[in-house]
Amino acid sequence: MKRSISMALGVVSAVSLLLAGCGDDAGSPAAAPTGPVTLTLGGWTLASTPEFKALADGFHEANPNVTVELKEYDATNYDTQMIADLAAKKAPDLYIQKNLKPFYTYQSGKQLLDVSDVAKQLGDKVGGLSAYQVDGKTWAIPYRQDSWVLFYNRALFDKAGVEYPDGSWTWDDYAAASKRVTTGLKGAGSKAFGDYQHNWQSTVQGFALAQTPGAKLDSGDFGYLKPYYTRALDLQSAGAQQAYGTVTTNKLTYQSQFGKQQAAMMLMGTWYIATLLKQQSTGDAENFAWGMAPAPQLDASTTGTSKKPITFGDPTGLGINPAIDKQKITAAKAFLAYAAGEQGAKKLASIGVTPADTGSVTQDLFALKGMPTDELSKFTFSTHDTKPENPVSKHTAALQNILNDAHSAVLSGSKPVDSAISAAQDRAKNEVLKG
Amino acid sequence: MATIQAGRRRRRRRLRPAWRNTLTGWSFILPNLLGFGVFTLVPVLALFYYAFTDWNIFGVAEWVGVDNFTRMLGDDSFFTALRNTLYYTALHIPLTMGAALGLALLLNRKLRGVAFFRTVAFFPYITSIVAIAQVWNLLFSPQYGPINALLRALGAANPPGWTVSADWSMPAVIIVSTWREMGYYMLIFLAGLQTIPNQLYEAARIDGAGSWQRFRNITLPSLRPTTFFVVVMLTIGSFKVFDLILLLTDGGPGQSTLVLSQYIYQKGFEENQFGYASAVSVVLFAICFAITVVQFAVNKRRAS
């Protein structure tokens, strides 16, 4: 009897604690900040993603009054966890927009504070800003803008006796070069492939969407994918790259395929620069000379170093949680401006991360140990027209899931390109676009 | 007067221990019941409400009536997922039951090292599913995997693509899930086998029954309660298969291994359509519920 009473008391007190916790953040008074401010920032796998700490420390140095505390999330489930935390009103003051796919959910769900004034202050030096603009207002500030480029292994090209990429390549040139390198390497007794294509849908669809004139994701017309898939299948059957089935079943990682010299070329986002530098210094990757070239182009109208090559990539942005304590908003906006501005950009470049403001850091980045020194690599890093991989729309997440099914169906050889595309179009029409 | 009082006292004495017993009972199950109530029962009840709303997790869920269910009728992906789930269930249940019963019969004898073999058969069940998926994927690898190497050595010119082929991905998943779960159900069958009195077999032997007759007329009927339990558990488990498929094929290639629970996950947690995802969950629940009710009815009729 006594035990049950104490248990009941325990339950009552636990419930009242919960209720008190829920009521806590209702209506905090707006007042000028006095004394030190502590902001919380949500990021993922802090140990291997040094950028959050770099920005937090850098900002604290410049503004000793403000401390930015990091809150760690899981990298793969970042958005699921963040959405749950936001819905439960337990999310940090500032949180990262990891890519553009869930941005619509955050923005339309009123989970982002209007930061148009910060955007105005930053001007047009920051890449990727327009992706976060809805109804004439800006809802997040990009601090990184990665773009997909072609990484190549100079040593393997030398071994195969093939000339390095020169920035003039269309996709057909790329495919031909990959086959030539494969043959050359085989002749030299190497088992490496001409190129490595990771199993992500972006490796094919990202380029197709960005480079094909008139291609639009939410048009529901996916015919623009066909030439890109035909070429990918051709490279696969020619043996110039690992088969899709081998990549998925053996869980190959792109870091080891390029880093351990298993492939002479790889299309990947510029985030790989930091990883490659780090892995070459720690021995996780072999030491070899590498370089970057612009991604192959649809046709000759955008090739060559006098033009701006078209590629794709989603910006990584910082947003403010509207549930933030009103006294902290000024400090939070100052942090956004810092992270996206020149100071933040330099800080990011010092750890090999590609900031949104690439122009002001090219010199700093290429001064890092292990970076290539050729002009084409510098051109590649600083000059590109980067289109978003996930154009912001209500339908983006659902359409990308449909296209992901098409991707695995085509590359595994389960469906011919045409029927996979028409199946995806039918599904898009029936399941997504009519709603 | 005295007798009436004595009677009352006796009744009170009889009541109080009962009341105390109830309380003790409740206090034993309370920790689990609280967890179940807060983390399972409340969300499940909420699910039935959200199935009739349009909700993207933020803000208010908007009541839309049966819209989600009419949408489901025209949703080909839903039917693909349903078909795949039925395909999986139809093969997984008999295969797992057969394998589990076979193992149980094999390991129910007095043979050397029986404990070792029982442990071996049970091992897949307690191994981390992530590790299982990774290793099986390597085994299934179409170009370099040992399974296809063996098939080629045996003379198959075009061995299947397994997890990267639309036709073979579901069989591959079924093979792995049967292998993984047979040990668990073997244990249950073993327990059932050991409750069968030996005299029955002896009597049958005296009457001249062969081993097949003994199996058909003694083992199988005596195992009926066990078999019923196994069938119910396997059915529910098959309908909500999720983790293995997510790790092994992620529903692919294309939609060839997309099952209902993964479709629910996709709609809910990837596309933030929690209303629609809840509606699909309700349908999955209804299917499991209906089949279980039928199974109970059939079992009852056979028992009587």
Q: What is the pLDDT of residues A88-143, one digit of tens each?
A: 899 999 999 998 888 988 998 899 999 999 999 887 777 778 889 988 899 999 99
**Of A7, A80, A409, which has the smallest distance from its Cβ to B254's Cβ?**
A409
Find the closest chain A residue to B267 by CA distance. A398
User: Is residue A422 in some structural domain?
Assistant: no
pTM confidence score: 0.84
B-chain residues near A406 (CB < 8 A): 254
Residue A168 and residue A156 in one domain: yes
Looking at chain B from residue 70 to 89, which residues have their Cβ under 8 Å from any Cβ of chain A? 71, 74-77
User: Is residue B107 in some structural domain?
Assistant: yes
Q: What is the pLDDT of residues A313-335, one digit of tens each?
A: 989 999 999 999 999 999 999 99
Distances B10 to B2, B13, B16, B19 between C-alpha atoms, Å:
12, 5, 10, 14
Q: Does A397 touch chain B (CB under 8 A)?
A: yes
Residue A141 and residue A152 in one domain: no
Residue B34 and residue B181 in one domain: no
A-chain residues near B30 (CB < 8 A): 7
Residue A244 and residue A330 in one domain: no
Reported confidence tier of residue A3, pLDDT bands at 50, 70, 90: very low
Contact B255 A405 (CB under 8 A): yes
Residue A122 and residue A178 in one domain: no
Residue A331 and residue A252 in one domain: no
Residue B6 and residue B154 in one domain: no
Residue B6 and residue B104 in one domain: no
Q: How far is the C-alpha of A341 from the C-alpha of A79, rounded, in Å?
A: 25
Contact B163 A249 (CB under 8 A): yes
Find the closest chain B residue to A424 by CA distance. B254
Residue A274 and residue A318 in one domain: no
Which ranges of chain B have pLDDT less than 50? 1
Q: What residues form DSSP beta bridges with A141?
A: A318
Q: Which two tokens mark B112?
A: 């050397």
Q: Does B141 touch chain A (CB under 8 A)?
A: yes
Residue B29 and residue B95 in one domain: no
CA angle A299, A301, A303 (to 5 degrees): 80
Contact B142 A249 (CB under 8 A): yes
Q: How far is the C-alpha of B85 from the C-alpha of B173, rounded, in Å?
A: 12
User: Is residue A421 in some structural domain?
Assistant: no
User: Is residue B35 in some structural domain?
Assistant: yes
Range of the domain at A139: 37-147+313-360
pLDDT of residue B10: 55
From A360, A394, A426, give the residue that closes a domain: A360
User: Is residue B13 in some structural domain?
Assistant: yes
A294 burial level (CB within 10 Å; 0-12, 13-18, 19+): buried
The three-class DSSP label of residue A6 is helix
Reported confidence tier of residue A28, pLDDT bands at 50, 70, 90: very low
Write down the ipTM of this complex: 0.82
Residue A94 and residue A165 in one domain: no
Contact A249 B137 (CB under 8 A): yes
Residue A161 and residue A102 in one domain: no
pLDDT of residue A297: 96
User: Is residue A26 in some structural domain?
Assistant: no
Q: What is the pLDDT of residues B95-135, one digit of tens each?
A: 999 999 999 999 988 888 888 988 998 999 999 999 999 99
User: Is residue B280 in some structural domain?
Assistant: yes
Q: How many CA atoms lie within 13 A of A280 on its CB side?
A: 18
pLDDT of residue B144: 87
Reported confidence tier of residue A25, pLDDT bands at 50, 70, 90: very low
B-chain residues near A3 (CB < 8 A): 27
The dihedral sign for the CA sequence A293, A295, A297, A303? negative
Residue A203 and residue A340 in one domain: no
Backbone angles phi, psi at A257, to 5 degrees: -65, -45
Reported confidence tier of residue A13, pLDDT bands at 50, 70, 90: very low
Q: What is the CATH number of the domain that holds B82?
A: 1.10.3720.10
User: Is residue A368 in some structural domain?
Assistant: no
User: Is residue B67 in some structural domain?
Assistant: no
pLDDT of residue B265: 93
Number of domains in chain B: 2
Q: Does A83 touch chain B (CB under 8 A)?
A: yes
User: Is residue B55 in some structural domain?
Assistant: no
Best B72, B130, B141, B158 residue to mutate vs chain A (most A CBs within 10 Å): B141
pLDDT of residue A15: 42
Nearest to A175 by CA among A220, A221, A125, A235: A235
The edge-to-edge listing of strands for the beta sheet with A148-153 is: A193-196, A263-269, A148-153, A290-293
**Is pLDDT of A356 > 60?**
yes
Residue B39 and residue B188 in one domain: no
Number of domains in chain A: 2
Distances B192 to A2, A383, B108, B236 between C-alpha atoms, Å:
42, 72, 10, 21
User: Is residue A405 in some structural domain?
Assistant: no
Q: What's the average model confidence in pLDDT over A161-183?
A: 95
Q: Which residues are within 8 A (CB) of B5 and not within 5 positions of it... i.e. 6 or more apart?
A: none
pLDDT of residue B8: 55
Q: How many CA atoms lie within 13 A of A231 on its CB side?
A: 24
pLDDT of residue B59: 76
B-chain residues near A86 (CB < 8 A): 58
pLDDT of residue B178: 95
Q: What is the DSSP letter of B164?
A: G
User: Is residue A397 in some structural domain?
Assistant: no
User: Is residue B63 in some structural domain?
Assistant: no
Q: Which residues are within 8 A (CB) of A383 and not within 5 positions of it... i.e. 6 or more apart?
A: A294, A305, A308, A309
Q: How far is the C-alpha of A318 from the C-alpha of A103, rounded, in Å?
A: 11
pLDDT of residue A221: 94
Residue B14 and residue B149 in one domain: no
Residue B197 and residue B275 in one domain: yes
From A311, A330, A350, give the residue that closes a domain: A311
Residue B215 and residue B266 in one domain: yes
Q: How far is the C-alpha of B235 from the C-alpha of B92, rounded, in Å?
A: 9
Residue B90 and residue B189 in one domain: yes
User: Is residue A382 in some structural domain?
Assistant: no
Q: Which two tokens mark B131?
A: 């590790």
Q: What is the pLDDT of residues A53-100, one digit of tens each?
A: 999 999 999 999 999 999 999 988 899 899 989 988 999 999 999 988
From A311, A345, A377, give the residue that closes a domain: A311
Contact B75 A430 (CB under 8 A): yes
User: Is residue A59 in some structural domain?
Assistant: yes
pLDDT of residue B15: 62
Best A408, A419, A422 residue to mutate vs chain B (most B CBs within 10 Å): A408
Q: What is the CATH number of the domain that holds A207?
A: 3.40.190.10
Query: Token match 């291997």: residue?
Result: A48
Range of the domain at B34: 2-50
User: Is residue B113 in some structural domain?
Assistant: yes
Q: What's the average model confidence in pLDDT over A181-210?
A: 94
Residues composing chain A: 435
Q: Which two tokens mark A430?
A: 């029936």
Q: Mean pLDDT over all residues of chain A? A: 88
pLDDT of residue B7: 52
